[in-house]
Amino acid sequence: MSEVFLFLAQQPVLLLFVVIGVGSAVGHIRVRGVGLGAAAVLFLAIGLSAWAASYGVDLEITEALGTLGLCLFTFCVGLVSGATFFSSLRRSLAPILAVAGVLVASAAVATGVGSVLGLDRAVVAGAWAGAVTNTPALAAARDAAGDATGPTIGYAVTYLFGVVGMLVAVSLALRHRDLDTDAPPTLVTRTVRVEATGRPRIEDLEDRHGDRIKFSRVRRGEEAPIRTADGGDLLLLDDLVTVVGPAEDVDAVTRELGHASSHRLEADRLYLDMRRMTVSAERAAGRTIGELDLLHRFGATISRVRRGDVDVVATDDFQLQLGDRVRVIAPRERMAEVSAWFGDSARGLSDIVPVVLGVGMTLGILLGAVAFPVPGGHFAVGSAAGTLLVGLVLGRLGRVGPVVTAMPYTAAQAIAELGLLIFLAQAGTRAGAQIGAAFTSGDWLRILLLGAVVTTFVATGLYLVMRRVFRVGGTRLSGIVAGTQTQPAVLAFANGRTGYDARVALGYALVYPAAMVTKIVLGQLLGGL
C-alpha cells in the first residue's frame, strides 16, 4: 500500500476526487434509514490519511483547496439565506445570545474539568477548540499560549468526537420533526362568493391577514369576464374572487367574506391564463413583486413563488431572485409577452453570475482578514465568517442599481455542496495526519474524556435551551446545532436527513457568525490562562 499512498500524495487533485467520490458513495449507504451523507467524506479522509501515516506517508490535501471549498460553501449559504436572515434576526437576538452563553459556559466547564484531570492549560484550550470543531479558535489558543504543540494535540484528539457527538445531537433533534410548528404552510387556492355587504377593499383584507393571502382573480356577475385582481378593488355582493394562501388563513377570509363557491375561476381560461415561469431576466431579479408593477404593465399578477422546494404567497414586498419559479396570471393574449419579459429560461436556474461570485468572495476574504483589537491582542473572524457575512448582505440586497447581487437558488446550492465536499476532504486528511502523533501522548485518554464532556455539554445545552425556552422546532434546531458547532459536516448531515429543508440553512446562518466570533475570543482567553 505504501506505493499507492506515495502516488496519491504526489497527485493531490486525484486524491481530492477519490476521497469525494468514495466518501459520497459510502455516505449514501443507509442503516435503518440513516446515512452519513457528505459527512462520510470527512471520516473517510481521516481514516485514509491516518492509514497512510502508518506507512510514513503524508497524505494531505493542500490547505488552500480546503479554504477555497469552505469559502465557497459559506458564501453560497449566505446568498441562499440572506433574503430571510435579516427579517429573522430582529426576532432571534435572544437565541443568538443564548448560543453565545452556552459556548461561554462550555469554556468554563473545560477549564474546571481540565483542572480536575490535571491537564496543561494549553492542552485544555486546544481540546476545547477540537470539541467545538473550530480551527480559528485553535489558532487563537496557540497564539495566546505561545505553544504550538499542546493545543494541536488536544485539538486532534477531541475533534472527531466533536463531529460524531453533534451528528448524534442532530439525529435526536430530528426525531420528531414531523411535529414542528414552524414548517412552511401548504398553500391552497379557493374561489369565494362574496356575501359581505361592507364593500371590503382587497388590499385591506390582505393587510389584515398579514400578507399571508393573495387575491388573484375577480369576476363581477355571472356572465362578466374574469379579470386580474387589483389591490384597490372593492368587493361587492355576489362577486367571485380567488384567494391563495395557507389553508387556515384562506378559511378565515372565506368566513369573513361569505362562503366557498362551487365555481373555480382558476379553471376557466377563456379570459385569463396561468403559467409557471422561471425568472431568468436580470431586469426582474432583485426587485420586489410590487416594484415590477405587472398589473399596469401587462394586466397580470403573481399568486405564488416557488424557491427551491417551497411555495410562498407572492406578496408585494417579496423580493424575486434569479431561478425563482413564479405562477403568473395574465390575459391569454399577453401571456407570451409576460413570459419573454421574465426570460423564462432554464439558464435562470444554473447561471452562477461570475461577477457576484468574484466580487462577493473577494470582499468576504478581505473582511475575514481584518484584525479587530481585543484586550491582550487582536483577532480576525476568518475568511469563512467573512464570506458568510458578505453573502448574507448580498442575498438580502438582491440588486444594487443595475447589478444583481444574488445567484439562482439551484446554482448557489450546487456550488455550496461542491465547496463543502472539498473542505471536508481537506479537513479530514489534515486531522488524520495529526491523530497518530496525538495518540502517542500519554494524556490522550484524559484529553478525549475532556472533549466528550465539552461536546456533550454544548449539545445538551443547545437542545434544552432551544427546545424548552425558545420552542424551536427540530428542523431549525438541527441547523442551529450545526451553526453553533461551526461544522459543515453536521450541516450536510442535517440537510441530507431533511431533504435540504430551508429552515436548516436559516438556523445555521443565523448563529454561525456569532458562534465563530465567540469561539475565537474564548480560544484566545483559554490559551492565555
Q: What is the pLDDT of residues 333-347, one digit of tens each?
A: 999 999 999 998 877
- Do 80 and 194 have their domain in common? no
- Do 26 and 132 have their domain in common? yes
Mean pLDDT, the chain, whole residue set? 86
Question: In this predicted model, what pLDDT tens digit does every residue of 240-288 receive, in sequence order?
Answer: 999 999 999 999 999 999 999 988 888 888 788 999 999 988 899 889 9
For the chain, how many structural domains are there in total?
Answer: 2
- Do 333 and 364 have their domain in common? no
DSSP at 178: G
- Do 21 and 131 have their domain in common? yes
Predicted pLDDT at 34: 56
Among the three residues 285, 320, 344, which one is the final residue of a domain in this structure?
344
Predicted pLDDT at 149: 67
Among the three residues 278, 310, 344, which one is the final residue of a domain in this structure?
344
- Do 323 and 245 have their domain in common? yes
In DSSP terms, 272 is beta-bridged to 331
- Do 200 and 308 have their domain in common? yes
- In a domain, residue 289? The reply is yes
Predicted pLDDT at 148: 61
Run of H or E residues at 194 = strand 187-194
pLDDT confidence band for 379 (50 / 70 / 90): low
- In a domain, residue 352? The reply is no
Question: In this predicted model, what pLDDT tens digit does every residue of 208-238 receive, in sequence order?
Answer: 988 889 999 999 877 788 999 998 999 999 9
Domain range spanning residue 425? Answer: 2-180+359-527
Q: How far apart are CA 364 and CA 380, in angstroms?
A: 12
DSSP state string for 461-508: HHHHIIIIIS---HHHHHHHHHHHTT-HHHHHHHHHHHTS-HHHHHHH
Nearest to 161 by CA among 489, 470, 508: 489
Predicted pLDDT at 219: 92
Cell of 489: 459536516
Cell of 449: 474524556
Predicted pLDDT at 189: 92
- In a domain, residue 249? The reply is yes
* Confidence (pTM): 0.74
CATH at 219: 3.30.70.1450
- In a domain, residue 351? The reply is no
- Do 41 and 122 have their domain in common? yes
Is the model more confident about 382 or about 103? 103
Nearest to 447 by CA among 12, 132, 117: 117
- In a domain, residue 349? The reply is no
- Do 173 and 241 have their domain in common? no
Q: How far apart are CA 127 and CA 445, in angstroms?
A: 12
- Whether residue 74 contacts residue 391, with contact meaning beta carbons closer than 8 Å, is answered with yes
Predicted pLDDT at 437: 65
- Do 193 and 296 have their domain in common? yes
- Do 138 and 166 have their domain in common? yes
- In a domain, residue 266? The reply is yes
Residue with cell 497524505: 59
Strands (E), 280-368: 301-307, 310-313, 325-331
Nearest to 46 by CA among 417, 482, 422, 427: 427
Q: How far apart are CA 270 and CA 274, in angstroms?
A: 11
Among the three residues 314, 344, 374, which one is the final residue of a domain in this structure?
344
- Do 330 and 205 have their domain in common? yes
- Do 262 and 377 have their domain in common? no
**Residues contacting 374, CB < 8 A, separation 6+:** 521, 524
- In a domain, residue 299? The reply is yes
Predicted pLDDT at 102: 96
| Helix, strand, coil % over all residues of the chain, rounded to 5 | 60, 15, 25
Nearest to 70 by CA among 405, 486, 499, 524: 486
**Residues contacting 411, CB < 8 A, separation 6+:** 323, 349, 350, 351, 352, 353
Distances (CA, A) of 412 to 264, 322, 357: 38, 11, 10
- In a domain, residue 195? The reply is yes
- Whether residue 344 contacts residue 277, with contact meaning beta carbons closer than 8 Å, is answered with yes
Expressed in angstroms, the distance from the first to the final Cα of the chain is 45
